[in-house]
Every structure is written in C-alpha cells, then in structure tokens.
Amino acid sequence: MQRKHIILTLVIAAVFIMGIILGFMLLPIKGMGIHTGKILRSTNGTCFLITENSPVRLTDLSDGKERFSSYKDGDTVLILHNGIAESYPASTAVYFSVKLKNGSASEIPEDVIASLKDLGWIEAEEESTAENTDITGERIKKGNENANFSLILPEGWKYEDSNTLQEDSFGISIYREDSPDETITIGFYSMFGVCGTGLRTESITLGSFKAHKGIYDGNPTFDYIIFEDTPGYYVINNNCDGEWWKENKSTAMSILDSVVIADGIIFREEAVSKASEFSVGEYKRKVSEYDHKNGIWTITFMKEETEQVVKLNKKGEKIS
C-alpha cells in the first residue's frame, strides 16, 4: 500500500512538472520562452547555454545576480527567458533556471568551443602592457578633488577638451599631430551603459587599475575600456581606424597605461568595506552610490523591508 502511495505521488509530481513546462512553452507568444542546454563559462565568467550546437549568452535577472554560480561546464540546465537577440553569439535574459543533471566540459561540442575561441570568449588572457614602451612628456590633469584623471602625453601628441560627452561629465580627446582625425577619448561620466548585442569583453590592466574592454563584432581594435570599482565611471573610447591602430598601438597603449584616475578618492570596494564597520546586524544586499559633486559615498545595506544607510566622504571617513 505504501509503495502505491509513493508511485501515485511521483506520477502526480511528474504531471505537475510537465504542466508547468507546457505552460512555459506557450509563453513565447508573450515574448518569453523555455530552452534546455548545457552550460559553458567563458574565460571572463560569462555564462552560455549551448543548445542545438549554438551558444546563447545568459544575463541573470535575479536580485542576487548569483543564479548561475552553482552551475559547472557541461551541466544540463532548463531556463525560462525573454526574447533571444539575433547575433553571434545570441543572448537572452533569464527569469528562472533549474539544473536537470550534472555534466562535464567534455560534453560541449568542439566546434562551439572553437567558435567562441575565435571570438575571444574562451581563453582570452588578460592583456599585459609589459610590451608597451615607457613614455615621457607632460602629465595632463583634468577634473577636481571629487572626480579626476590624468595621463602623460609624449612629444608629437596633442589633446583638446571633448565636447561629445554627456552633461555633467568631462573628458579629453588625444591624437597625434599628424593624424588629428584618429582620436581616443578619456572621460568621466556620472552614468554609463552599453548595448550587449554583439559585444564581448576582455580583462585588462592599465597602470595599477583593473578594467575591462568592450569589443563589438567586426571591430579590429576595441570600442571602449571602462575602469572597475571606481567612484563614478571612467571610460576610454577608441575612435581610431584599424590600420592606424596597428601602426600606433604600442604608443597609444603606453599613454593609456600612464593613466591615474580618482586620485585622492577611495574606490567602491574600500568604501563598502569601511561602511560595513558601521552597519548593524546582517543584511542581504548592499547598494553603493558616489556623488561626484560633493565627494560623498552612500552605502545602503538592505534586509527585506529595512535598510541602513552609511555615508562616507571621499577619504572614507564617516559623515554623521
């Protein structure tokens, strides 16, 4: 009798799960869909779902942004997602996912791995600036005590204030005297965002600062470099022709390698660490925001419907 109850329970559970799956399969009518496939992570940690021998880049829409953290290469996963962007690799945002079974990296088709290697998603090593030549010249400084950057410009290079940045931002365009149309823009932004379609990213270090560069499909150079963990957004945009870049890459990267950003201002990780010393009890997540007009970090520690707010000045001292 007990065995019959167990079998009946399993049957009911299976029917229930199938009902959910069938319901999800009808969702594409509303712009949503369901897929299963195998997980593959890129070198920089981006999560892909390999389905029908094609990679789909996944964006996590959960609050904690840790939905994919427990998945390993080769695991079979079911996802509920919104529309799939038609690019290569394709991309989609995930509302729900569940692992169906464990797997291994050896189960991923070799041609998929090869295609992602060609695009730089797999085995993209951190770019080293060791081959960049040392440069001497004038150090150009821009900004104020609450937001600033500087870099060295060697002989034969010039700069001018950029007039293409958004309101409440500042920056400069640098260029060789003999090719003024080939410019690189370095700027500070209060807000910054990009489109993810056709984009791949690679880690890079400039000077002592960690960053990542974004490269859109078909670009032989790079589109932007954004520094990580900074008070505000410090971004480099490359507006140079591919042939010009090949000839001048070494000097250009050496100039960028001389950059100093947010001098005299603590970065995000340090601000959160210092603020946590003044928080009380446990919290589920934290939100940090830097006010570049007043040089103030606001760190909000959240737990369910309650929150604690800690304010620090740019040096990391608590503001009462």
Q: pLDDT digits over 213-257, tens only?
A: 998 877 778 899 999 999 999 999 999 998 899 899 999 999 999
Average pLDDT over residues 57-79: 79
- In the chain, CATH 3.40.1000.10 covers 138-261
Q: Is the pTM of this model over 0.75?
A: no
How far does the chain reach from its first CA to its final CA, in angstroms? Answer: 69
pLDDT at 94 over 80: yes
Q: How many angstroms separate the CA atoms of 145 and 133, rounded?
A: 30
Torsion of CA 49, 54, 55, 60, to 10 degrees: -40
pLDDT at 10 over 80: no
Q: Which of 294, 288, 293 is nearest to 274 (CA)?
A: 288
Q: Reduce the DSSP state of residue 64 to 3 states and report it.
A: coil
Tell me, what's the pLDDT at 117? 79
pLDDT at 39 over 70: yes
- The chain-wide mean pLDDT, for the chain, equals 83
Q: Which of 115, 59, 55, 62 is nearest to 89 (CA)?
A: 55
**What is the CATH T-level fold of the domain 31-119, as seen in this structure?**
OB fold (Dihydrolipoamide Acetyltransferase, E2P) (2.40.50)
Tell me, what's the pLDDT at 225? 96
- For domain 138-261, give its CATH number from 1.20.120.520, 3.30.565.10, 2.60.200.20, 3.40.1000.10: 3.40.1000.10
Mean pLDDT lowest among 15-29, 69-83, 158-172: 15-29
Tokens of 132: 């960049």
Residue 259: band (very low, low, confident or very high) from pLDDT cuts 50, 70, 90? very high
- Residue 56 dihedral angles phi and psi, to the nearest 5°: -125, 120
Q: Which of 109, 44, 40 is nearest to 75 (CA)?
A: 40
- Residue 105 dihedral angles phi and psi, to the nearest 5°: -60, -25
CB 68 within 8 A of CB 58: yes
Q: Which residue has the tokens 């290569």?
A: 88
- Per the model's pLDDT, the better-predicted residue between 56 and 86 turns out to be 56
Neighbours of 53 (CB within 10 A): 11
Answer whether the bond into residue 109 is a cis peptide, omega within 30°. Answer: no
Tell me, what's the pLDDT at 28? 47
Report the percent of the chain where pLDDT is more than 70.
Answer: 83
Residue 26: band (very low, low, confident or very high) from pLDDT cuts 50, 70, 90? very low
pLDDT at 133 over 60: no
- In the chain, CATH 2.40.50.140 covers 31-119
Tokens of 242: 């591919």
Residue 282: band (very low, low, confident or very high) from pLDDT cuts 50, 70, 90? confident
pLDDT at 3 over 80: no
